[in-house]
Amino acid sequence: MKSTPSPRSLDELTLDTRFSIQELISRESFEDLLGSLRQLFGVSLRVFAKGGALFAESGPGSPLQTYLGSLPGGRRAVRETVETVKSAEPEAKGAIRLSCATGERYAVIALQYDGRSLGRTVIGPYLDLQDGACPEGLSKCDPLLVPDRLNEAWSAIPKCSESSIARLVEHLKCVLDLILFSGHRALLASNMHLASVQESYRELSEKSATLQNAYERLKELDRLKSNFLATVSHELRTPLTSIIGYSEMLVAGIAGDLNEEQRDFIATIHEKGEQLLELIKGLLDLTKLESGTLNLHKLDIPVLPILKDIVHTLTPTARNKGVILSATGDAGIPTLWGDAARLRQVFLNLTENAIKFTPSAGHVTLSAQITHVALASDEDEGPAIVLRGVKRPMIEVRVADSGIGIPEGERARVFDAFYQVDSSSTREQGGTGLGLSIVKRLVDAHDGTVHIEENSPRGAVFVVRIPCKRLSFMG
Amino acid sequence: MQLDFTARELTIKLVYYGPALSGKTTNLQALHEASVPEATGRLMTLETRDDRTLFFDLLPLTFSSAKGLSVRLKVFTVPGQVIHSSTRRLVLQGADGVAFIADSREGETEHNAESYRDLRENLKQNGLTTKQLPLVLQFNKRDMPNVRTEAELADMAAQGREPVYLATATKGLGVVETFVGLLHLTWQTLDVKHGFIEKFGFDTSAFFADVLGKLNHPASLTDVLNIRVGGYGARREVMP
């Protein structure tokens, strides 16, 4: 025997079909039905479960039985009948008719479903229409018996013709069969619902586990890729340093004089070597940012000097392209909380990018201002948001260009590593696609945000927001 | 299969499988219709509003052999629609034999094949293969236009190991034959495994005579089995 109940299997419910009557029929409703049959036919009905326990009855028992039961001699007189009624095992078809020593009659019918016994139904007591007065012997069964009370109880026994009883038996069999069938059907349907849900759940859990495994494997592959990038970048840098160093020495004439053409060639080698070194540094930064090993030295720093320095650095590049580069900002804006060198890299990357995609006679403008940003609810560090205040002061740096702009659908993806809006091999603009990815990761590491807006009438605005102060309960 | 020694009672589970709307429920209805009242109970259907099977249909049938062993058969259908795969798997659990009801129409060939693949997959999940399980095929709806020809089906059936029956379940044609074919194949498979005939002195011919009698089918067992197309290698000779 199982100690805990579990839903019964489909096979148990269909092949076995060893039910108890309690499983298939609601007792209260069933007693209502028996009560209404009693009203209709005038006789009492009792249903016993398999094993003999009373399951349901149409109402109080027979007054004669109750009265005789209160007397020792009366109890003796009816004992035999009670035993017979209790032990009678009727066949599936038909009913057993029993006559009691008291003169009362009973009909017992089998309660069966799918060829299995579920119990018995006892109809009665009743008297046939021809039955006369109370048997004489009955009044002498006990010295304390009061004849008037016996006669009163006798006359209360319902009279019913055998043909009505036969009709009742047929009717009851039909009704019981339907009720048991419906009960079985409902039991099966509810168990099937449960089993189907369990089965679907099992199926989904398996699929989910497979997906989880695939996800873990991809994460591992991603980690391996980052490691690989870091190692390769590092290994590339060493010989490159020699190439740059020796080309510098050649240009400086350490190995002897060079003619104009040789100097040009070596200058190109040097320049391209430097470009390659920048790219490798970018890759190294990216892998460090991905693995979380990049250390930021955060301080309170003013933003305007950084922007002005960038304009100063990139003005020659902008001028070569015919792009006008400028920086604006309120002198009184607060400092921000960050790593000056890394933030410089952020704004430098964005500005270089802006110049690259802006045609001649276009503008690239850097501006800084303070803004207050509502806290997202999932930004839940420390105690409740309500204690911290809902708005957070941030420095907003906008790098606006009048270039080709970025289509709405591409705006989130440009921050992915190696992503290029125009990835065709014939694209106009060069680049590795690393710059913006590094920007995004550095800004994230500063607990800030970066997004792209549209510039009017054309171009794109990269908006970077960096917190003024550490985000903490202390403020 | 369940065997109750003391009650001398054997319960066998048969499942009617196949694509949606191929006539599985109709087969059971026709079988119910054909059988005498004392052999069968009510046909239970668990269906949705649009008369499609939701979980299954269940037809209980009871037959007996001369030696007093009573054989209770529980015949199930599965819901054919693709989405009810988990229910089909549940109903298929513990099946002793499967009748695959296919739609004979040309256009339904792919649905039949898909449902058969689903049967194989669900059996696999229950740890069974179509080779281990007694299986008969029925090509139903023979009265419809554009059906695959009898010659074509016979030709293909001859290459396979499963007995194939042709039927028009709406008219009750071929239904009893398919059922008896499945029961016979299942009976033989179970006997090889459990040795009923030897252990119980079970009388196969008396049993099938009782089955055919209670299904109001006047033909002999040999005649009924010989209506099949193909599958001759799948079975031993019909027992005397």
**Residues of A in Cβ contact (< 8 Å) with B3:** none
Band of residue A390 on the pLDDT scale cut at 50, 70, 90: low
Cβ density class A16-40: b for 16+ within 10 Å, e for less? bbebebeebbeeeebbebbbebbee
| Other C-beta atoms lying within 10 Å of the C-beta of residue A342 | 20
How near does any CA of chain A get to the CA of B150, in Å? 37
Q: Residue A302's CB: how many other CB atoms inside 10 A?
A: 16
Which of A160, A175, A193 is a domain's end point? A160
The answer to whether A185 contacts B46, with C-beta atoms less than 8 Å apart, is yes
Question: In chain B, whose CA is at the least distance from the CA of A11?
Answer: B94
Q: Which one of A16, A114, A199 has the shortest CB-CB distance to B41?
A: A114
Amino acid at B69: L
Tokens, residue A201: 């759940």
Q: Nearest CA of chain B to the CA of A203: how many Å?
A: 8
CA distance B23 to chain A (A): 22
How many angstroms separate the CA of residue A50 from the nearest CA in chain B?
A: 17
Rounded to the nearest angstrom, the gap between the alpha carbon of residue A347 and the centroid of all alpha carbons in its chain is 41
**Is residue A340 included in any domain, yes or no?**
yes
- Shared domain check, A362 and A235: no
- Residues from chain B that touch A14, judged by Cβ atoms under 8 A, are 13, 58, 74, 76
Digit-coded pLDDT (tens) for A181-220? 999 999 888 888 888 888 889 989 999 999 999 999 999 9
CATH of the domain at A370: 3.30.565.10
Q: Does A187 touch chain B (CB under 8 A)?
A: no
Number of Cβ within 10 Å of residue B145's Cβ equals 7
At position A113, the amino acid (one-letter code) is: Y
Closest C-alpha to B227, from B151, B155, B176: B176
Residues A466 and A350 in one domain: yes
Q: For residue A311, tell me if it sits in a domain.
A: yes
Which residue of B74, B76, B92, B122 is the best one to mutate when testing the A interface, meaning the one whose CB has the most A CBs within 10 A? Answer: B74
Chain A residues near residue B79 by CB distance under 8 angstroms: none
A208 with A308, same domain?
no
Residues A385, A273 within the same domain: no
For the segment A88-142, what is each residue's pLDDT rounded down to a tens digit? 777 766 678 888 777 888 899 988 888 888 889 999 889 888 887 777 777 777 8
pLDDT at residue A426 in the model: 43
Confidence band for A397, pLDDT divided at 50, 70 and 90? very high
Percentage of chain A beyond pLDDT 90 is: 21
Q: Which CATH number is A82's domain given?
A: 3.30.450
CA contacts within 13 A on the Cβ side of A350: 29
pLDDT at residue A475 above 50? no
Facing residue for B42 by CB, picked from A115, A181, A189? A181
pLDDT at A181: 92
What CATH number does the domain containing A269 carry? 1.10.287.130
Judge if A271 and A314 occupy the same domain: no
> Cβ–Cβ contacts within 10 Å for residue A383, how many?
9
Closest by CA position to A448, among listed A330, A253, A303, A244: A303
Per-residue confidence band for B237, with pLDDT thresholds at 50, 70 and 90: very low
A188 contacts B55? CB cut-off 8 A: yes
A416-459 pLDDT, tens digit per residue, is 876 666 655 445 555 656 778 888 888 988 888 999 998 888 88
Tell how strand A299-301 and strand A336-338 pair up: antiparallel
- Tell me: do A320 and A284 sit in the same domain: no
User: Is B93 within 8 Å of A10 when comparing Cβ atoms?
Assistant: yes
Does residue A216 share a domain with residue A361?
no
Would an 8 Å CB–CB cutoff place A200 in contact with chain B?
yes
Of all residues in chain B, the percent with pLDDT exceeding 70 is 94
Instruction: Tell me: do A327 and A460 sit in the same domain.
Output: yes
Is A360 contained in some domain? Answer: yes
A388 & A314 share domain: yes
Q: Could B90 and A203 be called an inter-chain contact, meaning their C-beta atoms sit closer than 8 Å?
A: no
**Single residue among A136, A160, A184 that ends a domain in this structure:** A160
Residues of chain A positioned with their CB less than 8 A from the CB of B11: 15-16
* Chain A residues touching residue B94 (CB < 8 angstroms): 11, 15
A185 occurs within a structural domain:
no
Per-residue pLDDT tens for A109-124?
988 888 888 889 999 8
What is the distance in angstroms between the Cα of A372 and the nearest Cα belonging to chain B? 52
Q: What is the pTM of this model?
A: 0.69
Strand locations in B28-117 (E): 44-47, 53-64, 70-77, 97-103
Say which of B42, B55, B74 has its CB closest to residue A192.
B55
Region label for B195, one of left (φ > 0), alpha (ψ between -120 and 50) or beta (otherwise):
left
Q: Which two tokens stand for residue A250?
A: 């050649």
Distance from CA of B238 to the nearest CA of A (A): 28
Dist CA B64 CA B153 (whole Å): 35
Q: Which of A255, A273, A289 represents a domain boundary (last residue)?
A: A289
In a domain, A70, yes or no: yes
User: Given a cut of 90, is residue B200 above it in pLDDT?
Assistant: no
Cα(A12)–Cα(A14) distance, rounded to whole angstroms? Answer: 6
**DSSP code of residue A382:** S
User: For residue B40, what are the β-bridge partners?
Assistant: B61
Residues A283 and A332 in one domain: no
CA–centroid distance for B161 within its chain = 16
Based on the domain organization, do A308 and A376 belong to the same domain? yes
Q: Which residues of B touch A192 (CB under 8 A)?
A: 46, 55-56, 87, 90
Q: Smallest CA–CA separation between A352 and chain B, in Å?
A: 56
Nearest to B90 among A16, A185, A195 (CB): A195
Q: Is the predicted pLDDT of residue A153 greater than 70, yes or no?
A: yes
CB contact under 8 A, A14 and B55: no
- Closest Cα in chain B to A116: B7
Over residues A244-303, the pLDDT tens digits come to 999 999 988 888 888 999 999 998 999 889 888 888 888 888 887 777 777 888 888 888
Please give the structure tokens belonging to residue A441. Answer: 């990761």
Q: CA distances (Å), B51 to each of A314, A407, B21, B48, in order?
A: 76, 52, 11, 6
On the question of pLDDT at A403 being above 80, the answer is: yes
User: Residue B161: its pLDDT value, please?
Assistant: 84
Residue A438 domain-assigned? Answer: yes
Q: Is residue A433 part of a domain?
A: yes
Per the DSSP assignment, residues forming a β-bridge with A326 are A365
Residue A276 tokens, joined: 């390659």
Q: What is the number of alpha carbons within 13 Å of residue A113 lying toward its C-beta?
A: 27
SS3 label, residue A192: helix
Sorted by where each starts, the structural domains of chain B and their CATH numbers stand as: 2-225 (3.40.50.300)
Q: Are residues A110 and A210 in the same domain?
A: no
**What residues in B contact A16, CB-CB < 8 Å?**
2, 11
Chain A residue with Cα closest to B1? A15
Which pLDDT belongs to residue B232?
Answer: 59
* Chain centroid, CA B78 distance in Å: 12
Chain B residue numbers with beta carbons less than 8 Å from the beta carbon of A205 are none
Across chain A, mean pLDDT equals 83
Q: How confident is the model at residue A103, as a pLDDT?
A: 81
What percent of chain A is modeled with pLDDT above 70? 90
| B86: chain A residues, CB-CB within 8 Å | 196, 199-200, 203
- With respect to residue A27, please indicate whether it lies within any of the assigned structural domains: yes
CB contact under 8 A, A10 and B90: yes
For residue A418, give the 3-state DSSP assignment. Answer: coil
Do residue A11 and residue B93 have CB atoms under 8 angstroms apart? Answer: yes
Overall domain count for chain A: 3
Q: Which domain holds residue A413?
A: 295-474
Whether B94 sits inside 8 A of A11 (CB atoms) is yes
How close, in Å, is residue B64 to chain A by CA atoms?
Answer: 13
Structure tokens at B12: 């066998």
Q: Which residues of B touch A10 (CB under 8 A)?
A: 90-91, 93
**pLDDT for residue A468:** 84
Q: Report whether A269 contacts A303 (CB < 8 A).
A: no
Q: Which residue of A has its CA nearest to B4?
A: A16
The gap between the terminal CA atoms of chain B, to the nearest Å, is: 25
- Measure the CA–CA gap between A322 and A392, rounded to whole angstroms: 39
User: B236: pLDDT confidence band, cut at 50, 70 and 90?
Assistant: very low
Contact B2 A15 (CB under 8 A): yes
pLDDT digits (tens, 9 = 90+) for B143-197: 999 999 998 898 888 888 889 999 999 999 999 999 999 999 999 999 888 887 7
Residue A202 CA to residue A189 CA, distance in Å, equals 20
